[in-house]
Amino acid sequence: MQFRIHNEGWVYFVISCLITIIIIPFYTVLGILLCILSAYIFYFFRDPIRSIPKDDVIVSPADGLVTFIGNKKNPLKDSLDDNNYTKISIFLSVFDVHVNRMPLDASIQSINYIPGKFFNATLDKSSNDNERNIIYAKKNGESFFIVQIAGLIARRIVCNLKNNQEVIKGDRIGIIKFGSRVDLYLPQNYNILISKGQKVVGGETIISNPNNIQNIKSSILK
């Protein structure tokens, strides 16, 4: 299996390795600990290749644990859109892949960065209180929202998207550093195919499909 590291991780990995090389001849135990830290940094920023389903389905935007599924208003507070959406929250532990992926083919309407606090990302209040980045996308006239949320440890959200950009399902859209959460808001005419407490894989796990789709023939290999 091809293994790679995300570009955001190289600076941490290189600095950690250099410090390890300098320290280990003089302080062996500390050097060993730094070596372990370097290995973890490489592991944390890993960016594995994913097999993206080709069907007209919604895939998970992140690796992690589904902690919430329920009805909510859209996350843009000043929006005139009063529709209800199905909100799916995914918690990313420090051991999960933190590269975020686009859950569907869509056009990016706006990217909204909101500064905030750093509550534990497992808590539902982190959706409203924590530092976050709200990605508003549209497909076939329907609105979708992907929210990157900083957690207790995460201190930086990276988003690689631009306004009016056309994106394809499975595209890498950014990364959240060191523990975080991703919320996905779907129109309510979409079936939900996952459940709370389920582990999902970004870009691969099918989490939803429109109600008018009767059959799914997934090309994904688990």
Total residues found in the chain within this entry: 222
- Of 7-11, 124-128, 171-175, give the lowest mean pLDDT range: 124-128
* Pick from 70, 66, 137, 71: nearest CA to 104: 137
**pLDDT, tens digit, 9 for 90 and up, residues 141-166:** 999 999 999 876 656 788 999 999 99
> Is the Cβ–Cβ distance between 121 and 96 less than 8 Å?
no
More confident residue, 199 or 80: 199
pLDDT at 122: 63
Is 180 one of the annotated active-site residues of the chain? yes
CATH number attached to the domain at 58-210: 2.70.70
Structure token digits, residue 201: 């894989």
Band (pLDDT 50/70/90 cuts) for residue 215 is very low
Q: Catalytic pick from 16, 180, 195, 208?
A: 180
Rg of the chain on CA atoms, in Å: 18
Q: Where do the structural domains in the chain lie, given as residue ranges?
A: 7-44, 58-210
* Pick from 55, 159, 46, 43: nearest CA to 101: 159
Helix (H, G, I), strand (E, B) or coil at 33: helix
